[in-house]
């Protein structure tokens, strides 16, 4: 659903999505509310594998946590967010993007543009140090780091990008880990 005016944020705050349906507000009052059915098992297994490789003693890794991004009216809900223990209150619906160390999105057939373009810009704007796109359609992981603002366009961007195939390890320096992607699978 696309917004006609600035009422979208109010509608989203009062929305009660049916059980098993994920709802996100993308690009705030003038943006869209995106509702999707529960994810594929491939998606969930990838998220679980990343979550279990996150160093528990130092970080928290939460699934489907709503984010608040400074200067952004939307409230994206990454598939996984990782943040250092003790940097945010352990209560509340919105997690400040500025406290997030890594945002992870697992691409689905309906989220390709949002994950590769819209959320890439949103997470860079939020200053999230690393954005990991895991794509079971292509069998690749794309790690974006070093968020900044493009001086020519003024658009938030990630300066560095590394792509690896499923099965190849991917170093996530901000977490101090090398993710094992050998269990990542593509969609049937």
The confidence score (pLDDT) of residue 92 equals 83
Give the pLDDT confidence of 27-43 residue by residue, as tens digits: 655 567 765 655 789 99
- The reported pTM is 0.82
**Rounded CA separation 99/151 (Å):** 24
Under-50 pLDDT residues of the chain: 1-5
What's the Rg (C-alpha) of the chain? 16
Domain boundaries along the sequence of the chain: 1-38, 39-179
The confidence score (pLDDT) of residue 188 equals 87
Give the pLDDT confidence of 2-20 residue by residue, as tens digits: 333 455 566 666 666 555 5
Name the CATH superfamily, with its identifier, for domain 39-179.
Answer: tt1808, chain A (3.90.1570.10)
């Amino acid at each position: 659903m696309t917004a006609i005016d600035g009422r979208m944020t109010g509608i989203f705050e009062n929305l009660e999505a049916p059980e098993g349906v994920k709802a996100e507000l993308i690009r705030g009052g003038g943006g869209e509310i995106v509702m999707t059915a529960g994810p594929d098992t491939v998606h969930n297994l990838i998220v679980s594998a990343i979550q279990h490789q996150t160093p528990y003693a130092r970080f928290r890794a939460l699934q489907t946590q709503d984010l608040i991004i400074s200067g952004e009216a939307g409230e994206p809900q990454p598939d996984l967010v990782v943040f250092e223990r003790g940097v945010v209150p352990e209560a509340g619906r919105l997690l400040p993007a500025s406290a997030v160390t890594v945002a992870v999105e697992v691409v689905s057939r309906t989220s390709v543009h949002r994950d590769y373009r819209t959320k890439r810009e949103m997470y860079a704007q939020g200053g999230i140090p690393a954005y990991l796109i895991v794509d079971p359609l292509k069998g690749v992981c794309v790690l974006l780091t070093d968020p900044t603002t493009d001086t020519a366009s003024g658009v938030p961007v990630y300066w560095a990008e590394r792509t690896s195939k499923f099965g190849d390890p991917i170093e996530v320096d901000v977490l101090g880990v090398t993710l094992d992607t050998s269990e990542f699978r593509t969609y049937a």
